[in-house]
Structure 1
Amino acid sequence: MKFSFANRSKSFRARPRWPSAALLACPALLLALPASSHAQENPEAKAATGQEQDMKVQVVTVTGSNIRQAQNSVSSSPITEVGEHLIKGTASISIGDTLNSIPSVTSGLSASSNNTSVGGDAANVGVATTSLRNLGSARTLVLVNGRRYVSGVSANTGYGVDLNSIPTALIRRVDVLTGGQSAIYGSDAIAGVVNIITKKNFSGFEFSAFGGGAEDGGAGRKNIDLTYGKNFESGNAWISAGQSRQDPLLSSERPFSAYELAFIDADKDGVREAIARRNGPAHVPGAALIAPNGLTIFGNGAPFNTGQPVLDGQFNPQGGGDWDNQHARRYLVAPYQRSYIASGLNFELSPTSHADIELNYARTTSSVALEPAPVSVVGDIFRVPMGGTTGINVATSPYFVGSSAGRQLLAAMGANTSLDRLQTFKRLSEFGDRTVSNERNTFRIAAGLTNELSDSLSLKSSIVYGVTLEKQKNTGDFSIANFRNAVTIVPNGRGGYQCADAVARLEGCQPVNPFGTVDSLAGQAGVTGFSPAAIKYLMIDTGQTGEIRQTVVNSVLSGSLPWSLSGQQPLGFAAGVEYRKEQAEETPDAYRQMGLSRDLQVSAIKGDFDVKEAFAELEVPVARWLSVDLAARLGSYSTIGSAATYRLGVNAPLTDLVRLRGSWSQSVRAPNINDLFSNGSTSTAAANTDICNGVTAATTGNIAANCRSIPAIARRIASVGAFTLVASEANNTRLLQAGSPTLSEETADSVTLGAVFTPMRGLSFSADYFDIKIKDGITRDSSDVYVRRCYSVAPGAFDPTCGGNLVRDVNDGPILNLRSPLINAASITTRGVDLELDYAQRNFNFAAYANYLERYDVTNSSGAVEKFMGRVLFPKWRLAFNGTYNVTSKFDLFAQVRHRSATRAFLEPTNLSPELNRFKSASYVDLRFNYRITDAVHAYVGVNNVGDVQPDINPRDAATGTNTEPRAYDVIGRQYFAGINAKFR
């Protein structure tokens, strides 16, 4: 990686509608023109073509300021430059994977961290996002060539640029600018800016292809790119197309993830030992089982084992066969495919003006699967906890009369023999896996116009229009209404049974037996499970469509003023205006909108906002050794009103060897469409959500009094002495995480102080201290905190529904559904030090960089402080080293080492033993060997994770299907790749 401290300036933005093939190919029409004998490339094309040429049209994208500056000027904020050698060094098909090697960057969504096919995140399978300083993708502004890029994340679940829609073959470098930059770039730049600079001014033909896979199988990847460009008398046109594919890696293909694990500490011969337990009982056809409390029916008649201990440090969850292994079908790496076509055109309009156009289209598809859906006839089908009734009597129902299960149940139930009293579960293996398939189409057009008004003054204007179209399809779900019809049966007069509803029968209703009672009256008549006709009647496909649109228009006047201080260089300035509009809508299928599927009810969303902004920058050379830069931005939002930001930077080159720098800024993040308009994504609330758990008649305080005021809880306390939840009640609260239209902006005060040392030619070292404090952070309280605040009020002011956001079981009292809206409440404080070293000689280039995290604290709305430094995504140290060495004129070597220090799952006291709670430090080595067959053709081979380092098991917040934290650790293992690159002039 190369580190650059040059202050670079951005370009600007554009707007057409959805493209036609002709629009994308417009620059290609110019490719047929003969090249002018004097047409040359600009300096930026050197990296793309390997040849040094000059060109009249120069479109140079810079990062960190709008002021046109001299080439030797430097930034008051640290900028890390990710060069093309690092992007190619590990043969990644997503730039998100490359960025994750930078210590200040953590991946957000990725193929490993987002691999679920249930809940709101299913809409984001195949998406990759990035997060600076662990502050989230919504606080990290991603630009392409200095211009904004449309979000690719489902509007109902989040916000962030989908890095998978930006092919790595088009990327020349990535500039990572940390610290608050809202005064320069506007909202969302609280953590900083990631500016992706693409190649321009291709001349000739370029072909590249590579493929790779894991030594232990799975996770293969393939990539192919074709690019053709040509210079003409006044400019350059190019077109590029390609395809990439990431193959899946199943959880079952790696020992650490083959089984879903639960963790407890057990005393065995005086030694605390971890016990791994399989996820839950398998629901297969067979006689029903009476659980110890006499109130549960499972599908397997044999008793269930409780799991097996860790043997010799290895997880050994095999054996038995009576447990359902939910990881059998889950993914460590979710597959996706990307196809793209991109083109560009740069041309002179006159000796003093030029224009540029960028067009990008990418189509990504992805699909994952999950185990068959579980169903509770009582809870899911008849909604008994919400006031419904099955109408099924165990004493008289054909599902139970004559069966061994019926006899056991009647012996345990007493006088009340309604099925409503029971919990009945079945996993719908007959329906097959639940799957989700996503198709995402991203189109963006950006156009810019630059007018050189004089040698010291230029006007730049741009317009950007981007759109993301998403289509999702889910399988493995069922119609609740149809299922209800199918288990409400009556004799058909021919010795069998039929659906009771005549209209349902006309619609294809067939009786089903989800209880597995083959020896009952219904079973003996042939109703033993799910017939193909019944499955056809019950099974439904669900899904949704979505559209996200972004329009940005701006204009900037920049240059130098005819004044200076103390005979120094003239003052530099920039002033401009910008208009931005964000729009999104998302429409779920009719089943989910009406609440007629197993998934929670989801409403359609539609929302938009716009912002008008004016901004200015001023660079003041005070003395030879001191320069001060100032920036301010004032915005008027259609949602939050006005918001202002500022930035002060200091650059002090004291000598040729030492330069000091620093910045002080206040940044803002206005709520985005997801924050404002989301109707919610669904997950399972924490087991400690219901604070009424454990309340007795003698418990004192407002919380206890309010709990007892709820009839179902009062009845349960009167019956058994306490409101004590069983595991299935505590673990099955559905949490709906929604937005709020009343949100205001969050603000951040950021400070960076640093020094750059250049003791010799080709060697530089920098150290930068950072301190970021976010106030009024957009967040949501954890489910237990939310419920506690609601229930802590005086009894006279208590609302048992918490403003309509909480639904309890009307019979037994546990919380069924909880809606948690976003609020402005959090404060976040993080600080630490970034260290960077860059050493470059003729045949050798070496870079080292490190991040030391001193603090990362989050304070919630109740004032409680949660510390994160030292947890798995927040190690005290993250280090990286990389370098290239030209061994001979034909052969060169790239090497990279990544390291993270040891962390813990829980910082607070825990019952877990140190072996389970502690994550060991991890170091990864990546190598790439490149051979120049000819000047035009290169071939290479490489290996990532040379040491085959395996991830630690994570007993807290593991990503679905992984048992670990894939944003921190490599889950694939040792991987090999090989490729070829050819350039022809």
Structure 2
Amino acid sequence: MLPVQYLHKSSRSRRRGSSFAALTLSALAAALSAAAHAQQVGEAKTDTEQAKAKQADAKVLEAVVITGTNIRSANLVSSAPITEVGKAIFEGTGSISIEDTLSRIPSITAGLSASSNNTSTGGDAANVGVATVSLRNLGSARTLVLVNGRRWVSGVSANTGYGVDLNSIPVAMIKRVDVLTGGQSAIYGSDAIAGVINIITKKDFNGLELNALASDSADGGAGRKSFDLTYGRNFDTGNAWVSIGQSKQEPLRSADRPFSANELRFLDTNKDGILESIAVRNGPAHVPGGALFFGNLAMFGNGNPFNTNQPLLDSKFNRLGTTDWDNQFARRYLVAPYKPSYIASGLTVDVDEKSKAEFEMNYTKTTSFVALEPAPVSAVADVFRVPQGATTGIDVATSPYFVGSRAGAQLLAAMGPNTSLDRVQTFRRLVELGDRTVSNKRETFRAAASFTHDFSDSLSWKSSAVYGTTSELQTNTGDFSIPNFRNALTIEADGKGGYRCASAQARIEGCVPINPFGTVDSLAGKAGVTGISPEAVKYLAISTGQTGVIKQGVVNSVLSGELPYAISANPINFAAGVEFRREQAEEIPDAYRQQGLSRDLQVSAISGAFSVKEAFGEIEVPVARWLNLSAAGRYGDYSTVGKNFTHRYGLNAPVSEKLRLRGSWSPRSVRAPNINDLFSNGVTNTAPANTDVCNGVTAASTGNIADNCRSIPAIANRIANTGSFALVSSEANNTRLLLAGSPALSAETAKTTTLGAVFTPMQGLSLSVDYYSIDIKNGITRLSSDVQVKNCFGVAPGSFDPTCGGTLFRDVKDGPILNLRSPLINAANITTRGVDFELGYVGHGFIGGVFMNYLDRYDVVDATGTNAVFAGRPLYPKWRITTNAGYNITDQINLFGQARYRSKTKSFLTPNAYSDDLNDMKAVTYVDLRLNYKATSQLSVYVGANNVFNVQPDINVRDPAVGTNTEPGAYDVIGRQYFVGMKLKM
């Protein structure tokens, strides 16, 4: 007897005939041949036998629609490989998130997750708790996620991106997931360049089912819990069901794992020119009491020297020394917590003998939370904004903050005649305001309805409508009002031996003097103005946040059936239809952040919408017993980018009972720009240190760039005073980069090809090999910041604009770039090639399979013509392999196991400054096990462990996810996890 829990309980696999339909064990073991796919519990049929069964029992083999086509057919076989993930996989690995399970498939990479989106309080903080995936590493915006063949509304902040939030789709709803890679725009429209993930939910549930799960990690943290209850009932003309549930992801702090406990940097300790040692990063000097820097002088506000040593770390990441630099990772997250709660329901009704109506409803509320260390502040840069041309008005020689203090005396000895505080770097961490936190409440509502009418056995009409909305409420703490901070720093004697805020209006509003410099021995300090008092906190602290809403509406109508003539013994199938879709979004940050009056990054409001009208058609032509050809086309008229046409062709050739050839070719797939691409007003990031092309320019430098740089007064003055425009690290690393959209974008286009074969040498055993190729042209991207600035400054001096068309703003006093706006453009060309291998076996109480992906090529050519090679980098391993196996030890005991392998990668593929030990990221194999015990016919209990051997992640020296030091999309950052669960069915 085969393990029943891994197989479909309906006749769907017989009806579908797809080479990936019968196994629900795994995303990897899904590719069985027609013989294995047709296999029910203890029964298997070949394609020929299925055809005979169709003639014998038309009721069992009723027409259905499979993923990848709108054609309804009883024995249609996909011309492109479809990987199927069954319910058993989610249970076998103790998953509470669809993203966690799907990202185990070699063709899928995690996008946003609890570990990759965990430490932001800027514009993208709205995405904390969101989970997305990316097919073929082409991004969530190029991966179309469907539920029962229909679109799902985006859950990503409209100002930061686009993608379906998989946390808004409860695991308990899932019956299976179909993954179809390659261009599918002709079938489903925009966004399907990389492929389609079609989540099939419960429709015909009868009875009561209760599931519960709890897990924890061996080293503590990142625990998970879930509970769901589903009740359904069949009645004379249909089925109705309802499901409720809640899951919870507990947090894991960066400090709770050795590899992420410290912010890292890398040193050349043996002076051979190669970085080979790991050290604590000499991060921000934002200490609680206050730190002051002038030239080579570094000290606390109390005058004590500042320890700028960089302690090394041993092999277990323990510090070998001390430093006064702040460790930003001490309070950050490896895994951010979130909690989804949902209610879902479905209704299927046979209106009459030829008509059927279906309804779906889903509501999910997800709360999430993330916290960072208290906000850093520089009185000079952040409060008085000296780099923008302002002044502090504070003189170290006369200010009560410094007169009489040890720190003031040391500063005066080093400063010379100019004693303005504007020349001093001042740093502090606002511990009195507490951690910066982000709390999100995201609500997703979706309703879908369809009506199907069969005019005859060979002609059917189906219309459907979908409405979805995602609303978000974000609340932030730990920030402060810059105007109020400025008032609290502008003080005067109160005539009673103390000090007060100089502004009478500010005093009425509650202003209390503060001392962020730590000078407790100064005149102000001795008068009691030390630090930030609780009364001052009330005046300074503000709550920020934003609200947002995303809406989606889709209506379509499809006529599908058989043509009255045929070329071979089988009829020609067709589908034709029309569709209208409208997407809109609005996001409104708080007034403080919109106006740039808070310490946190400035965020702009966004509002936009677009619509598209489409007509599409498909045809499937059986040319001979051994050959079926198909074609599809889709014409769309977008309100934003105009008219587009996409088309696709397929081949399915069962040349023998043991060998089937298949292939698909899409000369043109399309992704139209989404709302974020078109209307985003930008999210602020930090530009790379090489952004400013004026860095290093001297009076003797030649060329357009040098001439244009020297035409800027602040740069010319600095060259005159110091001999060159040489940026110090704090200047080069503090350019704010505003990542914005552009309404001038056009659609991306792609050419995709898949060619493969399925070999079935014996019943229950199959092997498939599929080659894929995807070429994207006119890809939506943006120029790197250094190229953008270089292009601006490289023009002839007579046509040079110092603001680069209003995108660049410099420090008017010292010259470094403060802000740079980077809009999206159509410029990238992306090419990826690879081969998928699948091996599956069912028999003798065993079910299992292996799915392998070999990545031959992943290249991105940017707007400058530079080709960046990604194959072999952390998220792009040459080999990914997942093996799944289930075995019935007894009638009551079943063992499930999964092993996942990623080959060795490199942070940098080209010559670099790092040693091989640091640059190479090790190959890893993760083993997951679950033991299920069927206590009664109604109750099953199970125990399991993920990452059984507690494999630890490798350090990524190039671009680690913040707070992790590694790449959580490639490595498990939690370690060994145990879980227990139960299922009760009545």
TM (normalized to structure 2)? 0.93
Q: How big is the shift at 1:279?
A: 4.4
1:557 corresponds in structure 2 to 559
1:252 aligns with 2:255: yes
> Which of 411, 414, 419 in structure 2 is aligned with 1:412?
414
1:438-457 alignment to 2 at 5 Å?
438-457=440-459
Contact 2:749 2:778 in 1 (8 A): yes
Structure 2 CA distance for aligned equivalents of residues 748 and 367 of structure 1: 38
Structure 2 CA distance for aligned equivalents of residues 138 and 429 of structure 1: 39
Structure 1 CA distance for aligned equivalents of residues 115 and 303 of structure 2: 33
Q: How big is the shift at 1:965?
A: 0.4
From the superposition, tell whether residues 717 and 124 of structure 1 become closer, same or farther in structure 2 (CA, over 3 Å): same
Query: Which amino acid counterpart does residue 727 of structure 2 have in structure 1?
Result: L
Q: How big is the shift at 1:509?
A: 0.2
Structure 1 CA distance for aligned equivalents of residues 334 and 248 of structure 2: 16
From the superposition, tell whether residues 299 and 729 of structure 1 become closer, same or farther in structure 2 (CA, over 3 Å): farther
From the superposition, tell whether residues 347 and 403 of structure 1 become closer, same or farther in structure 2 (CA, over 3 Å): same
From the superposition, tell whether residues 631 and 459 of structure 1 become closer, same or farther in structure 2 (CA, over 3 Å): same
Structure 2 CA distance for aligned equivalents of residues 642 and 218 of structure 1: 51
1:491 corresponds in structure 2 to 493
Structure 1 CA distance for aligned equivalents of residues 795 and 850 of structure 2: 54
1:304 aligns with 2:307: yes
1:160 corresponds in structure 2 to 163
Q: How big is the shift at 1:520?
A: 1.2
From the superposition, tell whether residues 775 and 584 of structure 1 become closer, same or farther in structure 2 (CA, over 3 Å): same
Q: How big is the shift at 1:908?
A: 1.5
Contact 2:64 2:74 in 1 (8 A): no
1:130 aligns with 2:126: no
Cα deviation, 1:535-564, whole Å, max 9, x if unaligned, reads 110010100000000000000000010111
1:19-38 alignment to 2 at 5 Å?
none
Give the secondary-structure state (helix, strand or coil) at the position aligned to 1:486: helix
Q: How big is the shift at 1:321?
A: 5.5
RMSD of the alignment, in Å?
A: 2.2
1:430 aligns with 2:432: yes
Give the secondary-structure state (helix, strand or coil) at the position aligned to 1:378: helix
Q: How big is the shift at 1:121?
A: 2.1
1:656 aligns with 2:657: yes
Give the secondary-structure state (helix, strand or coil) at the position aligned to 2:268: strand
From the superposition, tell whether residues 438 and 270 of structure 1 become closer, same or farther in structure 2 (CA, over 3 Å): closer
1:912-923 alignment to 2 at 5 Å?
912-923=914-925
Give the secondary-structure state (helix, strand or coil) at the position aligned to 2:787: helix
Give the secondary-structure state (helix, strand or coil) at the position aligned to 1:598: coil
1:837 corresponds in structure 2 to 839
> Which of 933, 938, 941 in structure 1 is aligned with 2:940?
938
Cα deviation, 1:111-151, whole Å, max 9, x if unaligned, reads 11110132222110000001000000000000000000000
1:631 aligns with 2:632: yes
Structure 2 CA distance for aligned equivalents of residues 951 and 983 of structure 1: 39
Contact 1:469 1:548 in 2 (8 A): yes
Structure 2 CA distance for aligned equivalents of residues 298 and 858 of structure 1: 49
Contact 1:82 1:173 in 2 (8 A): yes
Structure 2 CA distance for aligned equivalents of residues 501 and 317 of structure 1: 47
Cα deviation, 1:21-68, whole Å, max 9, x if unaligned, reads xxxxxxxxxxxxxxxxxxxxxx99x99xxxxx9999999662010111
Give the secondary-structure state (helix, strand or coil) at the position aligned to 1:596: coil
Query: Which amino acid counterpart does residue 645 of structure 1 have in structure 2?
Result: T
Cα deviation, 1:81-104, whole Å, max 9, x if unaligned, reads 011111211010001000011000
Query: Which amino acid counterpart does residue 788 of structure 1 have in structure 2?
Result: K
2:236 corresponds in structure 1 to 233
Give the secondary-structure state (helix, strand or coil) at the position aligned to 1:425: strand
1:901 corresponds in structure 2 to 903
Structure 1 CA distance for aligned equivalents of residues 295 and 532 of structure 2: 28
Structure 2 CA distance for aligned equivalents of residues 704 and 762 of structure 1: 71
Contact 2:834 2:855 in 1 (8 A): yes
1:267 aligns with 2:232: no
Give the secondary-structure state (helix, strand or coil) at the position aligned to 2:528: coil
Cα deviation, 1:906-930, whole Å, max 9, x if unaligned, reads 1111111111100010000000000
Q: How big is the shift at 1:278?
A: 3.4
2:686 corresponds in structure 1 to 684
1:604 aligns with 2:608: no
From the superposition, tell whether residues 372 and 300 of structure 1 become closer, same or farther in structure 2 (CA, over 3 Å): farther
1:731-880 alignment to 2 at 5 Å?
731-880=733-882
Cα deviation, 1:267-288, whole Å, max 9, x if unaligned, reads 1699963131234255445585
1:585 corresponds in structure 2 to 586
Q: How big is the shift at 1:314?
A: 3.1
Structure 2 CA distance for aligned equivalents of residues 279 and 627 of structure 1: 64
Structure 1 CA distance for aligned equivalents of residues 411 and 604 of structure 2: 40
Contact 2:303 2:407 in 1 (8 A): no
Structure 2 CA distance for aligned equivalents of residues 321 and 709 of structure 1: 42
Structure 1 unaligned spans of 5+: 10-42, 48-52
1:212 corresponds in structure 2 to 215
Give the secondary-structure state (helix, strand or coil) at the position aligned to 1:65: coil
Contact 2:829 2:860 in 1 (8 A): yes
> Which of 681, 704, 707 in structure 1 is aligned with 2:706?
704
Structure 2 CA distance for aligned equivalents of residues 786 and 956 of structure 1: 22
Structure 1 CA distance for aligned equivalents of residues 519 and 414 of structure 2: 17
Structure 1 CA distance for aligned equivalents of residues 776 and 303 of structure 2: 53
Query: Which amino acid counterpart does residue 659 of structure 2 have in structure 1?
Result: V
Cα deviation, 1:616-638, whole Å, max 9, x if unaligned, reads 00111111111110000000000
1:344-355 alignment to 2 at 5 Å?
344-355=346-357
Deviates more, 1:607-616 or 1:754-763: 754-763
Give the secondary-structure state (helix, strand or coil) at the position aligned to 1:123: helix
> Which of 65, 69, 73 in structure 1 is aligned with 2:69?
65
Q: How big is the shift at 1:319?
A: 4.2
From the superposition, tell whether residues 286 and 242 of structure 1 become closer, same or farther in structure 2 (CA, over 3 Å): closer
Contact 2:627 2:654 in 1 (8 A): yes
Q: How big is the shift at 1:291?
A: 4.3
Q: How big is the shift at 1:692?
A: 1.1
Give the secondary-structure state (helix, strand or coil) at the position aligned to 1:941: strand
Cα deviation, 1:313-358, whole Å, max 9, x if unaligned, reads 3323364362322111101111010110001100011100000000
2:503 corresponds in structure 1 to 501
Structure 2 CA distance for aligned equivalents of residues 537 and 466 of structure 1: 41
1:618 corresponds in structure 2 to 619
Contact 1:951 1:969 in 2 (8 A): yes
From the superposition, tell whether residues 284 and 66 of structure 1 become closer, same or farther in structure 2 (CA, over 3 Å): closer
2:121 corresponds in structure 1 to 118
Query: Which amino acid counterpart does residue 689 of structure 2 have in structure 1?
Result: A
Query: Which amino acid counterpart does residue 647 of structure 1 have in structure 2?
Result: R
Query: Which amino acid counterpart does residue 176 of structure 2 have in structure 1?
Result: R
Contact 1:467 1:550 in 2 (8 A): yes
Contact 2:292 2:427 in 1 (8 A): no
Contact 1:736 1:817 in 2 (8 A): yes
Structure 1 CA distance for aligned equivalents of residues 421 and 653 of structure 2: 78
Cα deviation, 1:380-406, whole Å, max 9, x if unaligned, reads 111111111111111211111111222
Query: Which amino acid counterpart does residue 578 of structure 1 have in structure 2?
Result: E
Q: How big is the shift at 1:309?
A: 2.4
Task: Using the aligned pairs only, state the percent identity.
Answer: 67
1:84 corresponds in structure 2 to 87
Contact 2:618 2:630 in 1 (8 A): yes
Give the secondary-structure state (helix, strand or coil) at the position aligned to 1:820: strand
Query: Which amino acid counterpart does residue 637 of structure 1 have in structure 2?
Result: Y
1:19 corresponds in structure 2 to none
Contact 1:7 1:65 in 2 (8 A): no
Q: How big is the shift at 1:838?
A: 1.2
Contact 1:285 1:300 in 2 (8 A): no
From the superposition, tell whether residues 337 and 55 of structure 1 become closer, same or farther in structure 2 (CA, over 3 Å): farther
Contact 1:486 1:511 in 2 (8 A): yes
1:364 corresponds in structure 2 to 366
Contact 2:401 2:519 in 1 (8 A): yes
Moved >6 Å (runs of 4+)? 1-5, 53-59, 268-272, 295-300
Q: How big is the shift at 1:825?
A: 0.6
1:576 corresponds in structure 2 to 577
